[in-house]
Structure 1
Amino acid sequence: MTVARPTWLDELVGQVETTPAHYYSSFLPPDHGAGRRAGVLVLVGPRDEDPGDHDILLTERAHGMRTHAGQVAFPGGSVDPEDRDVIDAALREAHEEVGLDRTSVDVLATLPELYMPHRDFGITPVVGWWRDPHPLTAGDPREVASVLRAPVSELVDPANRFTVTHPNGYRGPAFEVDGLLVWGFTAGIIAKLLDLAGLAEPWDDSRHEELPERMWR
């Protein structure tokens, strides 16, 4: 069943179009461009049990992976030679990772390309509306442990927001959703988009929690 998208999402898209790249991150691609490029899908959809609420599609990475094991992330990945662009890469990867039908998605906007200097990686978040939701399943278990549709109502709940810290000095936004920790690049983008959408609620920014050791890699 096709569902109309919420007005706050249209307002968010309008904000994205006029918001400079440095709002999202202090790390931007060098003038000569990133060595590798990727697209990740920030997919907003209606909640099955409450269409008045909405969720964001996330994946939990397999716990046996060499890097970022068990980390929660947006579906997406590197641009392959057969991909037309970062949007095509994000939709293709979402299909491979969770079985998303790309024809069920309305792509609304792309954020500026952001940069991971330690990997020479440029990442473009692609904002989409899940117009025609359908069941999803984790793909290759060596890559995806589970599929998570994180309720926006839980993401904006002050009780689920805090700052995560790492012994190396890193500090960044974090969320707890359905027993999972969302942090790093993914949490940073979610936090910025909630602010732009006017959905964020005041939360205790003095609440700091150390990143679990299993996630240091």
Structure 2
Amino acid sequence: MGTSRWYTELPESSRARPAAVLLLFGVLDTLDSDHHSDAVSRDLDILLLERASTLRLNPGQIAFPGGRVDDDDRDVVAAAVREAEEETGLDPSGIDILGPLEAIPLAYSNYLVTPVLGWWRHPSPVGVVDEAESAAVFRAPIADLVDPVNRGVTVLRRDDQTWRGPGFLVGQGSEAHLVWGFTAMVLDSLLDRLGWSEPWDETRELPLSL
């Protein structure tokens, strides 16, 4: 996928633990996006989840289904599909794997994460399987993600350091979510790579709490 322009340095560790996430695209079975995009169909979506607030790592953040690669996993693709099934209850038989992208090193958690692209040929019902792991499972329209109204920059200040990254607003009202951090970085890079991005205000700051 290539390094996101929002990251100036992503140091790899020789002892980084392998992990994988599933970027599962499909066709919405409910309402289409209200945003018209010349590049993206209004009914194209991607599967996301909200991590449980009690988790030690990245609590409450919006993420792709995924996790650590286990010894029993055949490869990163198998790990991504297994984790997605465990976290959302989806039926793996309805997924066509398009292939893995370049692995992304995350120094903060010491993981080397491989995004795996998939197409939801036969969508199946999904939802929270384990409340200790996930607070919500939902499908976000890609057209909503590329809508400039829903884009901005998040700013994280920690240990006298400041990190700026892309952010996406999805949903409305009580179901509104802010996508930021690793997940937003991957989405931003992928949308740019596919030529789906639209010009947006990179001076607009999105608060890290809604």
TM more than 0.5 = yes
Check if 1:186 corresponds to 2:183. Answer: yes
Higher helix fraction (1 or 2): 1
Q: How does 1:158-177 map to 2 (within 5 A)?
A: 158-168=148-158, 169-177=162-170
Could you tell me which of 196, 199, 202 is aligned with 1:202? 199
For residue 98 of structure 1, the aligned residue among 64, 85, 88 is: 88
* Contact 1:28–1:114 (8 Å) recurs in 2: no
TM-score by length of 2: 0.85
Q: Is 1:40–2:21 an aligned residue pair?
A: yes
Percent identity for Structure 1 against Structure 2 = 45
Count of aligned pairs: 192
- Alpha-carbon distance, 1:147 to partner: 0.4
Deviation track 1:2-43 (CA, whole Å, cap 9, x = no partner) reads xxxxxxxxxxxxxx5xxxx3357541534xx44310010000
Partner residue of 2:72 out of 67, 75, 82: 82
Q: Is the 8 A contact 1:107 1:127 kept in 2?
A: yes
Q: Deviations over 1:95-132 (max 9, x none)?
A: 00001111111111211111111322100000111111
The 2-side partners of 1:109 and 1:186 are apart by 18
Say if 1:34 and 1:115, in contact at 8 Å, map to a contact too: no
C-alpha distance in 2, partners of 1:28/1:102?
33
Distance 2:60 2:130 in 1: 14
Check conservation: 2:26, 2:120, Cα contact below 8 A: yes
Query: Structure 1 CA distance, aligned partners of 2:42 and 2:146?
Result: 15
Residue number in structure 2 paired with 1:135: 125
- Tell me, yes or no, if the aligned pair for 2:4 and 2:185 is still in contact at 8 Å: no
CA RMSD of aligned residues (A): 1.8
Q: 2:38 is matched with which residue? A: none
Structure 1 residues 160, 187: CA separation in 2 closer, same or farther (over 3 Å shift)? same
User: Is residue 63–residue 183 contact of structure 2 (8 Å, CA) maintained in 1?
Assistant: yes
Stretches of structure 2 lacking an aligned partner (at least 5 in a row): 33-40
Q: Which runs of 5+ in 1 are unaligned?
A: 1-15
SS at match of 1:138: coil
One-letter amino acid matched to 1:128: G
What SS class does the counterpart of residue 22 from structure 1 fall into? coil
Shift of 1:52: 5.4
Q: Does 1:29 pair with 2:26?
A: no
